[in-house]
Amino acid sequence: MTVGLFIPCYVDQFYPNAAIATLELLEKAGVKVVYPQRQTCCGQPMANSGFEHLTKDCNELFVQNFAQFDYIVSPSGSCVLHIKDHLHSEKHEDQAQGIRGKVYELVEFLTDVVKVEKLTARFPHKVGLHQSCHGQRGLGLAQMSELVAPAFSKPEQLLSMVQDLELISLSRKDECCGFGGTFCVAEEAVSVKMGKDRVADHLQHQAEVITGADMSCLMHLEGILRRQKSNVKVMHIAEILNAQEG
Amino acid sequence: MRMKEEHTKDHAALAEDFNQDEPRVNWHDETLWFIREKRDRAAFAIPDWELLRETASQIKFHTLSNLSQYLQQFEANAQANGMTVHWAADAQEHNQIVHSILQQHGVTQMVKSKSMLTEECHLNDYLEQQGLEVIDSDLGERIVQLAKEPPSHIVLPCIHLKKEEIGNIFHQHLGTEAGLSDPQILTETARQHLRETFLTRKAALTGVNFAIAETGEFVVCTNEGNADMGAHLADVHIASMGIEKLIPRRSDLGVFLRLLTRSATGQPITTYSSHFKKPRPGHELHLILVDNGRSVQLGREDFRNSLKCIRCGACMNTCPVYRRSGGHSYQSAVAGPIGSILAPNLDMKKHADLPFASTLCGSCSNVCPVKIDIHTQLYKWRQVIVKEGYADPKKAIGMKAMNLVLSSPNTFKLSGKAGRWFMKTVPFLVSNQMNPWYKQREMPQPPKESFGEWYRKNRPQHD
């Protein structure tokens, strides 16, 4: 099995460590991974702003880059959801359809396809899990608090395999952080207030690190934490699952 | 005037105003979150909750798919019961019908229970301009009416006001002692004031929660019994309903009554679920069926399902944006997520900001008792609004520039070392004091190399 590694544009540019951890985790799981170097962006920033009609070129490029792989894996629930819901191709719709069916967010790929049962990671810290909405409500990475249905959480399933990690509980376990793509600048006041409230929930429960499966939400929370001069860090879940802290 | 027609600020600007007082935002957020939690407890007490939602959704889907047939059936049965049925194509026609009924009876004062439809039609403004007086009998609605404000929430009209502020309003208008804020005393004051209204009004208007096609009856749900007090004491009862309020059979009603109040406030059922079928001898019962854009929405395939809405307000209570921006920031009779997919149908230009007042988190769709895919429709409205030309032209230029770089791998790679292009181009990452990102947040620190650069060095076999 060969996996095409899809690294969101802003992760490539700002959070290479999250991408490196993703690559190494997949390699440790025995998966052959290729990173197509001509990739750029899934087109979501434009589409969510109402400009889906401008994403045709991004879509064609995505199809060219990824159609050949058995699976496509990405450390971002949001970008994966966008591809799953909105990737189309005028030239190769069959390939686009294939991609929509074989694109996975990293956590669900590890739990559902690779079926990881143990990890060698150690991370002796109090960790708060931020459930990003697109991963959780869109891809179903964890049960949603609104639904009367049995509880489960794929990210928690993996975090529980990390030695010495203490997962904290939150008052509002799946409230949105307010990033929301261009929402974070178009609706700056509400976006920041939502972010501050999420951060406060983690801090009240003594988190040392806030993690999640979407770096964009974490980037927003990190911006608020650093403005508050907090020592609390954000880390992509791949970095924790791949951690080798002594 | 209750509704300010001038519309100079958009949702983001009004939300920013609302956020000037952070403790108040916290209070508003926590008050509504408390109701969301009550809703959760009520829903989780019913093991078949999700089946109930699905059933309600299917009944509404079926009804909307056969709406003209059910409307005709309902009209025939209602007329056979002795109701007078009116049809109003739009808000103006609705208001004129109400006015003409009141004129025929020489009535200049009317009592009205909660009806979001009459808010949508701005009925109070219209009747006041004709020299008629309307008193809202729902306590929350009466409070905002005295304060000369529109409701900020469809179920909890004065949820944005604290009890001290309500005490002030009552002091000014109902003569209570200054500084009084005891809810029990305030409620008793309102009760005495409204009792006099109920006893002296010859006409009462109510909303309609459900209209049943097979029986020609309609059902009004209130907690205060104010619809009943108004309707039973008046000679003329006028009921206004949107054409989407129909359900086919009386046996369908239980599905909706079980969902409505659990979703709205976490109660098992409203205190009063009153059935109205025919006028009492010597009295009149008028029913106005209002379209006002609903047929147009029914014809929009992507947005048709929004007409399933039973106005429970659960999407507002759960919405993290609504809780932190307040109902008035939506400038629409129906605020929040559902209002944001209904309002653009009524006036796309005026409400072009609303589908963007969301992070698309999806919580609204999950609490919706009739399973409207609200967040998907928000996304789809964004596409429509941009295509129809109601987006900011500067945004369109920026998006085109972004597309040029993102669709070209070479430009993307050449656009600079790690972070440089993003710093300059992606709107949420422009690093200067003027940028909204930077106002209350730090920028990510650009790393020494991008992942692509690292990969070429560390996995050269794939290059």
pLDDT in tens, B252-278: 999 999 999 999 999 999 999 999 999
Flag whether B20 is in a domain: yes
Q: Virtual CA dihedral for A206, A210, A211, A217, nearest 10 degrees?
A: 140
B401 touches chain A (CB under 8 A): no
pLDDT reading at B55 higher than 70: yes
Write b or e for each residue in A170-181: b if 16 or more Cβ atoms lie within 10 A of its Cβ, otherwise e.
beebbbbbbbbb
A170 touches chain B (CB under 8 A): no
Instruction: Please give the Cα distance from B362 to A146 (Å, whole number).
Output: 10
Residue bearing tokens 């007329």: B79
B180 touches chain A (CB under 8 A): no
pLDDT reading at B6 higher than 60: no
Angle formed by the axes of helices B393-406 and A56-66, to 10°? 20
User: What is the pLDDT confidence band of residue B187, given thresholds at 50, 70 and 90?
Assistant: very high
Residues of chain A found within 8 Å of residue B47, distances taken between Cβ atoms: 148
CATH of the domain at B45: 3.40.50.10420
pLDDT reading at A8 higher than 50: yes
* pLDDT for position B425: 57
* pLDDT for position B33: 98
Flag whether B246 is in a domain: yes
Contact A176 B361 (CB under 8 A): yes
* pLDDT for position B2: 43
* pLDDT for position B1: 36
CB-based contact B427:A180 (threshold 8 Å): no
Q: Which residue of B has its CA nearest to A34?
A: B462
pLDDT reading at B419 higher than 70: no
Flag whether B227 is in a domain: yes
Give the mean pLDDT of A105-119: 97
Contact B366 A133 (CB under 8 A): no
* pLDDT for position B423: 60
- Which of B 90-109 lie inside 8 A of A, CB atoms? none
- Which of A 1-60 lie inside 8 A of B, CB atoms? 7, 9-17, 19-20, 23, 34-35, 37-41, 43, 45-55, 57-58, 60
* pLDDT for position B192: 93
Flag whether B250 is in a domain: yes
Q: Which residue of B has its CA nearest to A42?
A: B406
Give the mean pLDDT of A53-76: 96
Are residues B268 and B405 both part of a single domain? no
* pLDDT for position B461: 75
Q: To probe the interface with A, which of B302, B399, B415 has the most A CB atoms within 10 Å?
A: B399
Residues of chain A found within 8 Å of residue B43, distances taken between Cβ atoms: 148
pLDDT tens digits for B121-147? Answer: 999 999 999 999 999 999 999 999 999
Total count of domains within chain B: 2
Strand order in the sheet with A71-74: A32-34, A2-5, A71-74, A103-105
pLDDT reading at B463 higher than 60: no
Instruction: Please give the Cα distance from A18 to B292 (Å, whole number).
Output: 52
- Which of B 273-292 lie inside 8 A of A, CB atoms? none
CB-based contact B163:B186 (threshold 8 Å): yes
pLDDT reading at B415 higher than 80: no
B340 touches chain A (CB under 8 A): no
User: What is the pLDDT confidence band of residue B431, given thresholds at 50, 70 and 90?
Assistant: very low
Q: To probe the interface with B, which of A2, A7, A11, A14 has the most B CB atoms within 10 Å?
A: A14
Task: Pick B362's closest partner by Cβ from A133, A188, A196.
Answer: A133
pLDDT tens digits for B23-41? Answer: 999 999 999 999 999 999 9
Instruction: Please give the Cα distance from A210 to B38 (Å, whole number).
Output: 28
Instruction: Please give the Cα distance from B453 to A37 (Å, whole number).
Output: 10
Contact B379 A179 (CB under 8 A): no
* pLDDT for position B270: 94
User: What is the pLDDT confidence band of residue B430, given thresholds at 50, 70 and 90?
Assistant: very low
Q: What is the largest CA-CA distance in chain B?
A: 92
- In 3D space, the residue among A184, A67, A137 whose CA is nearest the CA of residue B439 turns out to be A184
B454 touches chain A (CB under 8 A): yes
pLDDT tens digits for A10-45? Answer: 899 889 999 999 999 999 999 999 999 999 888 898
Give the mean pLDDT of B151-179: 95
Between the two ends of chain B, the Cα-to-Cα distance in Å is 69
More confident residue, A210 or B429: A210
- Which of B 197-216 lie inside 8 A of A, CB atoms? none
Are residues B283 and B144 both part of a single domain? yes
Flag whether B363 is in a domain: no
* Domain of residue B255, residue span: 11-295
Instruction: Please give the Cα distance from B241 to B118 (Å, whole number).
Output: 9
| DSSP assignment of B161-189 | S-HHHHHHHHHHHH-PPTT---HHHHHHH
The residue type at B335:
A
A126 touches chain B (CB under 8 A): no
Give the mean pLDDT of A57-85: 96
Are residues B169 and B33 both part of a single domain? yes
Flag whether B112 is in a domain: yes
CB-based contact B220:B210 (threshold 8 Å): no
Beta bridge partners of B85: B287
Dihedral pair phi/psi, residue A158, rounded to 5°: -75, -40
* pLDDT for position B420: 58
Task: Pick B50's closest partner by Cβ from A147, A186, A192.
Answer: A147
Give the mean pLDDT of B387-400: 82
pLDDT tens digits for B215-235? Answer: 999 999 999 999 999 999 999
Domain C-terminal end among B261, B295, B329: B295
Which CA distances in Å does A118 have to A163, A235, B15, B54, B405?
10, 20, 47, 38, 41
pLDDT reading at B52 higher than 90: yes
List of E strands, B44-107:
84-88
Q: In angstroms, what separates the C-alpha of A132 from chain B's closest C-alpha?
A: 8
B404-411 contacts at long range (C-beta below 8 A, 24 or more positions apart): B405/A40, B406/A9, B406/A40, B406/A41, B406/A43, B406/A46, B406/A57, B406/A58, B407/A40, B407/A57, B407/A58, B407/A60, B407/A61, B408/A40, B408/A57, B409/A37, B409/A38, B409/A39, B409/A40, B409/A61
Q: For residue A51, what is the DSSP state?
A: I
User: What is the pLDDT confidence band of residue B392, given thresholds at 50, 70 and 90?
Assistant: confident
Contact B428 A181 (CB under 8 A): yes
Cα angle at A137 between B422 and A170, to 5 degrees? 90
Q: In angstroms, what separates the C-alpha of A96 from chain B's closest C-alpha?
A: 16
- Counted across chains A and B, CB pairs separated by less than 8 A come out at 225
pLDDT tens digits for A129-186? Answer: 999 999 999 999 999 999 999 999 999 999 999 999 999 999 999 999 999 988 998 9
* pLDDT for position B4: 44
Are residues B149 and B265 both part of a single domain? yes
Contact B360 A178 (CB under 8 A): no
Domain C-terminal end among B247, B277, B295: B295
Residues of chain A found within 8 Å of residue B457, distances taken between Cβ atoms: none
Instruction: Please give the Cα distance from B440 to B433 (Å, whole number).
Output: 10
ipTM over 0.85: yes
Contact B359 A197 (CB under 8 A): no
User: What is the pLDDT confidence band of residue B171, given thresholds at 50, 70 and 90?
Assistant: very high
Q: In angstroms, what separates the C-alpha of A122 from chain B's closest C-alpha?
A: 24
* pLDDT for position B437: 81
- Entry pTM: 0.95
Q: To probe the interface with B, which of A87, A175, A193 has the most B CB atoms within 10 Å?
A: A193
pLDDT reading at A226 higher than 60: yes
A118 touches chain B (CB under 8 A): no
Domain C-terminal end among B247, B272, B295: B295
> What is the set of domains in chain A, with CATH numbers?
2-113 (no CATH), 126-241 (3.40.50)
Lowest mean pLDDT among A208-222, B100-114, B193-207, B250-264: B193-207
Spatial CB neighbours of B434, under 8 Å, sequence gap ≥ 6: none
More confident residue, B426 or B187: B187
Q: In angstroms, what separates the C-alpha of B160 from chain A's closest C-alpha?
A: 16
Task: Pick A193's closest partner by Cβ from B19, B427, B443.
Answer: B19
pLDDT tens digits for B301-331? Answer: 999 999 999 999 999 999 999 999 999 999 9
The residue type at B438:
Y
Contact A50 B16 (CB under 8 A): no
pLDDT reading at A65 higher than 70: yes
Contact B406 A40 (CB under 8 A): yes
Instruction: Please give the Cα distance from A221 to A179 (Å, whole number).
Output: 8
Dihedral pair phi/psi, residue B260, rounded to 5°: -55, -60
* pLDDT for position B3: 44
The pair of structure tokens assigned to B192 is 């005495």
pLDDT reading at B447 higher than 90: no
Q: In angstroms, what separates the C-alpha of B223 from chain A's closest C-alpha?
A: 25
Q: How many CB atoms lie within 10 A of CB A68?
A: 12
- Which of B 1-40 lie inside 8 A of A, CB atoms? 11-12, 15-16, 18-19, 22, 25, 29, 33, 40
Flag whether B317 is in a domain: no
A200 touches chain B (CB under 8 A): no
Instruction: Please give the Cα distance from B272 to B219 (Å, whole number).
Output: 10
Flag whether B62 is in a domain: yes
B185 touches chain A (CB under 8 A): no
Contact B358 A180 (CB under 8 A): yes
